[in-house]
């Protein structure tokens, strides 16, 4: 059994120290193979050791300037450090280098959103959803991004699609209720979905707050008549 196979077994067993040691041995035995350095970087990244992970991804890119998985690993590090502009650049490079997966497009969209470039992130988030249509987290993020950009009709459709698949999705209820509250006169639907949100998930304090504000506004309106 080779060092890479032993490292993978160690990872599956939760033995990160052994996995790192084996991946490093594999990289030492094949110093011109960038895959070994990406493997080590990914292990360090998985345990949150950004400082140790970064140079391994960079070494991989020195060996292969077009290695998509190295760009992707480095992008994840920068995203977690809130370096969103740099992360977006690297996610885009990873896609151009062949990482044609939903997560890459999703993270590029999220990076652009966090960089206050939500409109630019829309096509990437849409592509992520096309690649993983059953991923409700991606669909929710796409709907939120649409709503933030004022595309309320498409956002509404996305939130409803989520609730058709999972009627207990508190986040979808909250965002649909909030959408009705800010973009329509449909107070009844807004109240219904906001109440569903904080009933399903008591930690949805913002849903309860908005619900109470709508109720208070309705009562004040009746008192003024």
- Quote the mean pLDDT of the chain: 92
pLDDT tens track for 155-172: 999 999 999 999 999 999
Proportion of the chain above pLDDT 70, given as a percent? 96
Closest CA to 138 of 116, 160, 117, 162: 162
Residue range 95-113: mean pLDDT, rounded: 97
Query: Is the confidence at residue 2, as pLDDT, over 80?
Result: no
Token match 């209820």: residue? Answer: 173
Torsion sign, CA atoms 182, 183, 187, 193: negative
Return the pLDDT at 221: 53
* The CATH number of the domain covering residues in 153-225: 1.25.40
- Provide φ and ψ at 16, rounded to 5°: -70, -35
Q: What is the pTM of this model?
A: 0.88
- CATH class in words for 1-65: mainly alpha
> What residue ranges do the domains of the chain occupy?
1-65, 153-225
Residue scoring higher pLDDT (102 or 5): 102
Closest CA to 197 of 189, 187, 207: 207
Least confident segment among 43-52, 65-74, 145-154: 43-52
Query: Is the confidence at residue 223, as pLDDT, over 60?
Result: no
Q: Do domains 1-65 and 153-225 have the same CATH topology?
A: yes
């Amino acid at each position: 059994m080779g060092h890479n196979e032993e490292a993978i077994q160690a990872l599956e067993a939760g033995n990160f120290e052994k996995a790192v040691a084996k991946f490093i041995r594999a990289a030492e035995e094949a110093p011109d193979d960038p895959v070994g350095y990406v493997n080590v970087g990914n292990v360090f990244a998985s345990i949150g050791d950004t400082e140790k992970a970064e140079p391994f991804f960079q070494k991989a890119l020195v060996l292969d300037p077009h290695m998509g998985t190295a760009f992707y690993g480095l992008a994840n590090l920068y995203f977690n450090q809130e370096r969103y502009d740099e992360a977006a650049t690297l996610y885009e490079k990873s896609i151009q280098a062949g990482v044609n997966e939903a997560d890459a497009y999703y993270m590029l969209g999220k990076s652009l959103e966090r960089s206050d470039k939500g409109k630019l992130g829309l096509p990437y988030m849409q592509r992520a959803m096309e690649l993983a249509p059953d991923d409700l987290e991606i669909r929710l993020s796409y709907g939120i991004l649409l709503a933030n950009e004022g595309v309320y009709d498409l956002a509404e459709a996305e939130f409803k699609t989520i609730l058709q698949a999972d009627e207990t999705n508190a986040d979808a209820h909250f965002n649909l209720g909030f959408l009705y509250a800010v973009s329509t006169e449909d107070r009844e639907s807004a109240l219904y979905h906001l109440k569903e949100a904080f009933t399903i998930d008591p930690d949805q304090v913002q849903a309860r707050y908005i619900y109470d504000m709508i109720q208070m506004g309705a009562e004040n309106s009746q008192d003024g008549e």
